[in-house]
Amino acid sequence: MTEPIANTTSPANPGAALDYELLLDCVHCGLCTAACPTYVETGNENESPRGRIYLMRGVADGKLELNERVRGHLELCLDCRACETACPSGVQYGKLIEPFRVAMESLDGPSRRDDWFHRHILFGLFPYSAKLRRALIPARIAQRTGVLKLLQATRLTRLLPAQLRRMVDMLPPPRRNEGPLPEFLPAIGRRRATVALFSGCIGDAMFRHVNWATARVLQQNGCDVHVPRAQACCGAIHFHAGSSDPAQVFADQNLAAFPVERFDAIINNIAGCGSMLKDYGHHWQDARQNERAAWSAKVRDVNEFLDQLGPVRPEGEIRAVATYHDACHLLHAQKIHDAPRRLLAQIPGLELHDLPESELCCGAAGTYNLTQPEMSARLSRRKLDNIRKTAARVAITSNAGCALQIAREARDQNMQLAVVHPMEMLDWSYRGVKPKW
Report which of residues 98 and 328 the model is more confident about.
Answer: 328
Q: What is the CB neighbour count within 10 angstroms for residue 349?
A: 10
Characterize the bridge pairing of strands 223-226 and 193-197: parallel
Distance CA 54, CA 33 (A): 13
Report pTM: 0.90
Give residue-wise pLDDT tens across range 111-158. 556 678 888 888 988 999 999 989 888 888 988 898 988 888 888 888
pLDDT of 8 reads 42
- pLDDT at 171 exceeding the cut of 60: yes
Distance CA 351, CA 345 (A): 8
Distance CA 267, CA 273 (A): 11
Distance CA 228, CA 295 (A): 15
Give residue-wise pLDDT tens across range 375-411. 999 999 999 999 999 999 999 999 999 999 999 999 9
Record: fold of 313-431: Rossmann fold (3.40.50)
Report which of residues 3 and 190 the model is more confident about.
Answer: 190
Distance CA 300, CA 206 (A): 22
φ and ψ at 272, to 5 degrees? -65, -40
pLDDT of 11 reads 52
Distance CA 48, CA 212 (A): 39
Helix axis angle, 94-106 relative to 68-75, nearest 10°?
Answer: 140
Domain 184-307 has CATH 1.20.1050: yes
* CATH top-level class of 14-107: mainly alpha
**Domain spans of the chain, in order of start:** 14-107, 116-170, 184-307, 313-431
Distance CA 246, CA 235 (A): 7
Q: Comparing C-alpha atoms, which of 83, 111, 86 is closest to residue 95?
A: 83
Give residue-wise pLDDT tens across range 355-373. 999 999 999 887 788 889 8
- Report, as an integer, the average pLDDT of 29-50: 93
DSSP for 136-198, written as a single string? THHHHHHHHHTHHHHHHHTTGGGGS-HHHHHHHHHPPPP-----PPPSEEPPSSS--EEEEE-
CB 279 within 8 Å of CB 295? no
Beta-carbon contacts of 21 under 8 Å, excluding residues fewer than 6 positions away, are: none
Give residue-wise pLDDT tens across range 180-199. 999 999 999 999 999 999 99
